[in-house]
Structure 1
């Protein structure tokens, strides 16, 4: 208890904004489980080895276009399946695939190691908010299924906001949801340099890059600190307070 109190008193941040997918929740694991379940529901019990990787590549491209504002989320949700099926000459219903996949995604929740303990410790220091470009009602259901909901004060989604990370308007929308906000006492924790860290840079707040793959940073985004495991986050953020 005394250790937790010392960590809380040393922490300069009072608002912690967490990306959800591949930061707190293992989206890649959930994605593959949901995709496989969807294909089986559509009658494709033995999808080809390239089907899921091709879907991932198409999906990633469409999400980048969404973040650039060139496609809508409703278009993306169906188009990723339409393109995948077309590439493999499969006569499957893309709209049905989208619906089944999203339903499954909220039921196949996998936590990143250390997520629950981290949220518990940071909730003792301040307020935790979720920042996500994902589908609003699906993300809320996934959080409810994850066991993290009791530590989270609010959920900001691009769908509800109308703007996506890294757009500063998304962060303006987000911080209005917090109990209190100051740039100096807010930090973003996320795995995406181009969305989370760049968004923090543009909005003038600190950031912690969750980089479990130890990837090189070849981008213009500049994280305030970097961690490779979630159990390093609390100490790293407290260390920034001591260095200030």
Structure 2
């Protein structure tokens, strides 16, 4: 069942969501060649602790870390490690903060040092996919409208859109209904109504949309070994339209 939030509950979700947004703004200044994703893990945990937030991913379905740190061909759910990031890498950092039982979720892809025009274009298109998906988040539209906008834009550049890693509702729980893919047709899926809070989080691959799960049981990697990029916001649907809770410009 889809949980419909009151305006007061959405305001409560804004608190962890804005903390995640602030963390990502500061993380962008922290990341550089030589930094490890385990350094990022420590950065995020320290930020959360100082901000009065709980890192909600730790222990969720036995996931052991505060961050999903996905480098290059890792699409999502990558484990942080001690490998130094280097010029040309791309890394997606995904985390969920909890304040007073309410969650805020955002992932962002960062270019490390000097990256190639090919990589820069992938990251640019992935961010544009997020923005085009957000344009469809309004009362009366459907999750299929979000997916169609993302899919058609990404595929116009020959990129693959990951279908089997889903967007989701969020609130008291990290994952709530509705669950929906980033591939679809207009007017299909779940109708968007005021009070719904969900994520828009397209995962865009340089090549095939297909992936496999690594030996750690979590890390999703592109089947062809090419890079992937992802941008994610937590958003609320109100009577006035879209409200981006994890907006980094707020």
The two structures have a TM-score, normalised by structure 1, of: 0.30
> Higher strand proportion, which one?
2
The two structures have a TM-score, normalised by structure 2, of: 0.29
Q: Which has the larger radius of gyration?
A: 1
